[in-house]
Amino acid sequence: MENSRFEKQLTYILEIDKEKNILRQTHLSGHGRRENDAEHAWHMAIMIYLLKEYANEEIDVAKTMMMALIHDVVEIDAGDTYAYDTEGLTTQKEREEQAAERIFGLLPEDQKKELRRLFDEFEANETPEAKFAHAMDNFQPLLLNNFNDGEDWRTHGVSKTQVLKRHSMTGLGSKEIGEYSKSIIEDNVRKGNIKDE
Amino acid sequence: MENSRFEKQLTYILEIDKEKNILRQTHLSGHGRRENDAEHAWHMAIMIYLLKEYANEEIDVAKTMMMALIHDVVEIDAGDTYAYDTEGLTTQKEREEQAAERIFGLLPEDQKKELRRLFDEFEANETPEAKFAHAMDNFQPLLLNNFNDGEDWRTHGVSKTQVLKRHSMTGLGSKEIGEYSKSIIEDNVRKGNIKDE
């Protein structure tokens, strides 16, 4: 075992443990505590595997799962930016770029490049894999939030326009899940969980 | 979209959210809170991807990752059995068998069979994929625990014999990581974190 290579891999593996402490705005089902990045990514990866039949285009499942598993790693440095935090969103790209350089940079060069490529591909949202991963990134909290009677939407007082905009890209990955997401949103507008504006 | 099929998939996806509330004995790095099953599985899947070069035999990486992601799902019903809880271990198999039937049974028949096969393959620990997934299942908490100065071993007062036994299967998946695990254990015996008996 080449020690320095293995040590770099272990350094990265220990570093990403911190994702378990990065809290999102979504709450666990049953009106639970806030979800963290690692749990969210785990859930997304399983959803990718189970729902792949609804992807618009054929996807490389392993690649899409790995993309999901690592896509939030930059939040270790950059923090979670809430989807409806317009101020935070303006500086998000720059903060996340620096974080990606530092964190993937802990890995041996070949794996740094490999994960960085995967991360950039996710961000660019152009390939079938990135589009489906993004669809799951949006659909997973939608499911939890809907199951919790729209608790997170009510707390933040978000509007239908905002929610529809956020979920507008889901259809790029899966037309069917995009349509289903819209029906969930409409349903929550009717119930008064999302403001009709 | 065939509704009943999609609904079954979503029922399973919502059910496994509960894994985020199943606590293990391992603590997060930096002497953090106890880790849950979902986080542990997420960490394992990334480790499988990054450390695959150390597997004794060639592995199907996607399959091994999915195995890791779902391997603890039965603990939703059966609870987490601590590796050194000899009483709990005697009834573990039966409790987990019933849980697997119920939980995988929420899925459409084809996916139920597919995930059940993957789960059984992991449990049997005979294929290269199962052996490497088991290696990561053991190596992941070892890494965290070592990073936390052996806190979990000290709390439970476990002995070298117990710890070596638990980690004896790591070498089946990866000789190199098996050897490295032993060196970590010896080091923690020297430091007094593991009882030398």
Give tens-digit pLDDT for B81-92.
777 777 777 788
Q: Tell me the pairing of strands B23-27 and A34-36.
A: unpaired
Structure tokens at B84: 């050194």
Q: Is the dihedral of CA A189, A176, A37, A70 positive or negative?
A: negative
**Most B-contacting residue of A8, A26, A39, A51 (CB-CB within 10 A), to test interface:** A39
What is the rounded CA–CA span in Å between residue B100 and residue B66? 16
Q: For residue B32, what is the nearest residue in chain A, using CA coordinates?
A: A21
Share of chain B above pLDDT 70, in %: 98
pLDDT averages per 10-residue partition of chain A, 197 residues = 85 98 96 97 98 98 97 91 77 89 97 98 97 98 97 94 95 98 97 96
Whether pLDDT at B189 is above 60: yes
Contacts of B180 in chain A (CB under 8 A): 1, 6
Residues of A in CB contact (< 8 Å) with B are 1, 6, 9-10, 12-14, 16-18, 20-21, 28-29, 32, 35-36, 38-39, 41-43, 45-47, 49-51, 54, 61-62, 65-66, 69-70, 107, 111, 143-144, 147, 176, 179-180
For the record, the structure tokens of A107 come out as 């890995």
Give this complex's ipTM. 0.94
* B1:A180 CB<8 A: yes
Give pLDDT, residue B1: 52
Q: Which of A15, A161, A22 is nearest to A81 (CA)?
A: A22
pLDDT at residue A92, as a whole number: 84
The pTM of the full predicted model, rounded to 2 decimals, is 0.95
Look at residue B160 and give its three-state secondary structure: helix
Q: Where are the beta strands (DSSP E) in chain B?
A: 23-27, 34-36
The rounded distance, in Å, linking the Cα atoms of A128 and A172 is: 9
Tokens representing residue A20 in the block: 């378990």
CA dihedral A38, A43, A45, A47 (to 10 degrees): -170
CB contact under 8 A, A47 and B16: no
- Residues of chain B in contact with residue A45, where contact means CB-CB under 8 angstroms, are 42, 45, 65, 69
The beta-carbon neighbor of A65 closest among B20, B62, B111 is: B62
- Non-local (6+) Cβ contacts of B160 within 8 A are B185, B189, B194, B195, B196, B197
B16-20, B30-34, B94-98, B160-164: which has the minimum mean pLDDT? Answer: B94-98
- B79 SS3 class: coil
End-to-end CA distance of chain B: give it in Å, rounded. 60
Q: Write the pLDDT tens digit of every residue in A52-102.
A: 999 999 999 999 999 999 999 999 998 877 777 777 777 888 888 999 999
Predicted pLDDT at A131: 98
Q: Which residue has the tokens 């489906």?
A: A132
The answer to whether the Cβ–Cβ distance between A13 and B42 falls below 8 Å is no
- Determine the 3-state secondary structure of B125 from DSSP: coil
Query: What is the distance between the alpha carbons of residues A146 and A191, in angstroms, rounded to a whole number?
Result: 11
Return the pLDDT at B79: 83
Please give, rounded to a whole number of angstroms, the shortest distance from the CA of A110 to a CA of chain B: 11
Per-residue HEC secondary structure of chain A comes to CCHHHHHHHHHHHHHHHHHHHCEEEEECCCCCCEEEHHHHHHHHHHHHHHHHHHCCCCCCHHHHHHHHHHCCCCHHHHCCCCCCCHHHHHHHHHHHHHHHHHHHCCCCHHHHHHHHHHHHHHHHCCCHHHHHHHHHHHHHHHHHHHHCCCHHHHHHCCEHHHHHHHHHHHHHHCHHHHHHHHHHHHHHHHCCCCECC
